[in-house]
A and B are shown apart, each in its own frame.
Chain A
């Protein structure tokens, strides 16, 4: 545990000494504010499009931050050879993976808190009401989502050699699941034979990342999400993170650490 947090704290330190997050945050804030100043038929109460744009930017930025940060961790350790003095310490490779995961995940939590605070202020300033609980539910879901993504990317970084190809592949997988994941059963229903079987197998195997997208829910003020399903989906997400982390540990255990 001690080791895991020691590694995580280094990830966090790197995070705030790099400029990526600040740039993305300023960009998000700037675009949102510019869009907010557009004249929509002289009505300054129109708010949902602004929430939509702001949330879209938040989702894209956080995904970019999560993927690039996680994808870099282990390859950078190997490239700069910092992994040698590190693993020469009494620390297991599993602990190193977990530490990297925890670090990236906590970093993302901080990023999300900043982003959602901005979102809350912007939307609240126009709507004059603050649905705190739904926003918290959305933030937590978003965080669970990023947890799965980080675990997936960490696993990918041990399978693919190049950081960029790993990041690209993970981005495509995540975007693909978000867009199509929930519809694969319907697609399978229209196919037949072996391809239908494969498609529905994929449908049941993949982590359904689209669950965690509460954007439409909070844009249209649908109130508090039912706690039961919310809890089930949270556990479901944690299970998938654990599976991907397990796979990452297995992939890392077999790896010889040379350049």
Chain B
């Protein structure tokens, strides 16, 4: 018995080390490797944990409803917090990727009908109702996990954007969004996503559209730089940056800039006809 266990232990240790070795090697040559103390301490696994904590934050947002990989009935992808963040926010922004099918499904089990009595009984002891942390201030509960996630994997951009969204929507914490985003920017200097979020912070929270515009223009420049370098930046985010710039220009009644950004937006390939209409209308007016 003992000998069998020992053998098993040796085999698993061996396979684990062969699995880990190339990863360690990769990490040592990677100049962008994590730079936080905790991250270094935990090595490659820190990224796994960072992702786990991000999921945790998502589960917290839904008050503990936490579909596992085995639950097929999931109506949202892992980074649903981001979804939420954009969904609420984008309704008024007439943006391209508003998650409009996202809903008011509160108070509904996310796990679907149980298959057997064991599952039915089990569902009595875990939070299955889909609710949100929407009472004032309640969203703060997700922040520790986001902070931990950033600590473990500073390269994970979602973390900063999600945290900033919640921070700036909580009057007590609004001012903390900026330092956190700047921290993210230091770790990811080329991130147009963080710049987009920073712009929103200046625009909506600080009511400083001029500063917001500068940041968004920088974001767009970064986006284009990545495009040129063939790094396949996210087109939806690119469109969102341009959308913000269009709105900002509209608020200044700057038809010229609006047209310029709308043309860029059209180049991205979204709903060309409608955009052309808007451009034509603007050109008409400015004549």
Contact = CB atoms under 8 A, between A and B. Distances in A.
Q: Do A and B bind each other?
A: yes
A185 B119 CA distance: 9
Interface string A232-256: 1100100000000000000000000
A10 to B, nearest CB: 29
A226 B167 contact: no
B1 A49 contact: no
A186 B1 contact: no
Contacts of B121: 208, 211, 229, 232-233, 236
Central interface residue in A41, A42, A212, by most chain B CB within 10 Å: A41
A210 B122 contact: yes
Contacts of B118: 182, 185, 203-204, 208
A230 interface: yes
Contacts of B2: 161-162, 165
A216 B143 contact: no
Given A210-B122, A216-B127, A185 B115 contact: yes
Nearest to B166: A41
Interface size class of B (residues with CB under 8 A): 20 to 34
Interface stretch (A23-31, A88-96, A217-225): A217-225
- By size class, the interface of chain A is 35 or more
B71 A46 contact: no
B140 A219 contact: no
Interface of A (DSSP majority class): helix
B161 to A, nearest CB: 15
A46 B143 contact: yes
Contacts of B66: 216
A216 B60 CA distance: 9
Interface in A154-193: 160-162, 165, 168, 182-183, 185-187, 189
Contacts of A219: 64
Interface string B136-150: 010011011101000
B143 A40 contact: yes
Contacts of B68: 183
Given A165-B2, A168-B5, A211 B140 contact: no
Tell me which of B2, B68, B127, B144 has the highest count of chain A C-beta atoms within 10 A of its own C-beta.
B144
Contacts of B125: 141, 211-214, 217, 225, 229-230, 233
A187 B71 CA distance: 10
Q: Which among A40, A189, A226 has the highest number of chain B CB atoms within 10 Å?
A: A40
Contacts of A213: 125
**A-B interface, 8 closest residue pairs, ranked by CB to CB distance from nearest:** A229-B124, A220-B64, A49-B144, A183-B70, A216-B64, A48-B141, A220-B63, A186-B70
12 contacts: A40-B143, A48-B141, A141-B125, A161-B2, A185-B116, A185-B119, A208-B122, A211-B122, A217-B64, A220-B63, A222-B127, A233-B121
